[in-house]
Amino acid sequence: MKHKIFALGVTLICMLGLSACGQNIQYNTVAGSRYDESVFSKEGLLGYAQTIEDQYFETMYLQGITPDNFEEQLEDSFDANTYDVFFAGYKNWYDAVDEIGFSSPDTLAEDISVKDLTYYVNKDGELMVDATIEGKGNNAHTAILEYSLDRKGVPTLISVNVNHTTGEKLKSAGLNTLLGMGMAFTVLIIIALVISLFPLINKLTEKKPETNKEITEKSIETVTSQIAEKEELTDDSELIAVISAAIAAYEASQGTGGDGFVVRSVRKVGKASNWKKA
């Protein structure tokens, strides 16, 4: 049993050691990767970062290009593989340029520059470069220009992220927390108000209960209508009998039988008859 536990422990240690070795990253070198050391050197990668920041982003900014008109102005300047990469990178830089800091558009090239970088090959075999951008001004921040290249030197990723101080991060986190809590409480208050209106809505929509007086009046009306219907039926029956007898007597006086006549119904005429007018 002890030997089995010992063997299991050795196996776990070996696995952890292998995983640690697999995650070991060497910085500022591409040795042992698929990238050519003579081409992808620190000087060359620093020059490429300066080209992205100076010749691309700053030039486009001074030409009045914004993320909104980027496609209209530069649609034909990039191929299909790099257009989205440069658009995303320029949008990040454009949103961060005020925080990076510069005095005026005339001094933009002197105020903002790439100072240093770190590069490495990640676990997926991609060359990643983190270049430091510095600006000038009282509230100037540094930023990281991150980009990656394939073996042909074509960029596959460009992004710019401002380095905020701990106080700024806490302030931003606090504001986000307050905003989130405020929205949550606002929604809860609205829901509570809607729920509180349910009784009022029910009162407005439900039928009012009938009073004893209304019930009594309805009962009287029902009984009265039933009595009237019976009286009408009785009167109609008597009237039919009288009319039938009169017709039979008249036919007998004329020498014809009245057996062929049958009075089935009597209908009242709205206008007064000629007999009534006489």
User: How far is the CA of 8 from the CAs of 18, 80, 170, 200, in angstroms?
Assistant: 15, 53, 45, 71
Helix crossing, 166-196 with 198-205: angle to 10°?
30
User: What local confidence, expressed as pLDDT, does residue 238 receive?
Assistant: 65
Residue 30 has pLDDT above 80, yes or no: yes
Identify the band that residue 10 occupies on the pLDDT scale cut at 50, 70 and 90: low
What rounded mean pLDDT belongs to the chain? 81
Domain ranges of the chain: 23-168, 212-267
User: What local confidence, expressed as pLDDT, does residue 106 receive?
Assistant: 92
Global pTM reads 0.59
Identify the band that residue 97 occupies on the pLDDT scale cut at 50, 70 and 90: very high
Identify the band that residue 276 occupies on the pLDDT scale cut at 50, 70 and 90: very low
> Within 10 Å of residue 197's Cβ, how many Cβ atoms?
11
Task: Tell me how far apart the alpha carbons of residues 143 and 89 are, in angstroms, rounded to a whole number.
Answer: 13
Task: Tell me how far apart the alpha carbons of residues 36 and 33 are, in angstroms, rounded to a whole number.
Answer: 8
Task: Tell me how far apart the alpha carbons of residues 137 and 111 are, in angstroms, rounded to a whole number.
Answer: 8
Cα distance from N-terminal residue to C-terminal residue, the chain? 133
CB 159 within 8 A of CB 92: yes
Closest by CA to 108, choosing from 158, 61, 144, 143, is: 61
User: What local confidence, expressed as pLDDT, does residue 200 receive?
Assistant: 81
User: What local confidence, expressed as pLDDT, does residue 155 receive?
Assistant: 95
Task: Tell me how far apart the alpha carbons of residues 138 and 149 are, in angstroms, rounded to a whole number.
Answer: 34
- pLDDT tens, residue by residue, 58-70: 999 999 999 999 9
Task: Tell me how far apart the alpha carbons of residues 229 and 133 are, in angstroms, rounded to a whole number.
Answer: 101
Kindly report which listed range (2-6, 120-124, 153-157) carries the lowest average pLDDT score.
2-6
Task: Tell me how far apart the alpha carbons of residues 252 and 247 are, in angstroms, rounded to a whole number.
Answer: 9
Identify the band that residue 275 occupies on the pLDDT scale cut at 50, 70 and 90: very low
For residue 12, the SS3 value is helix
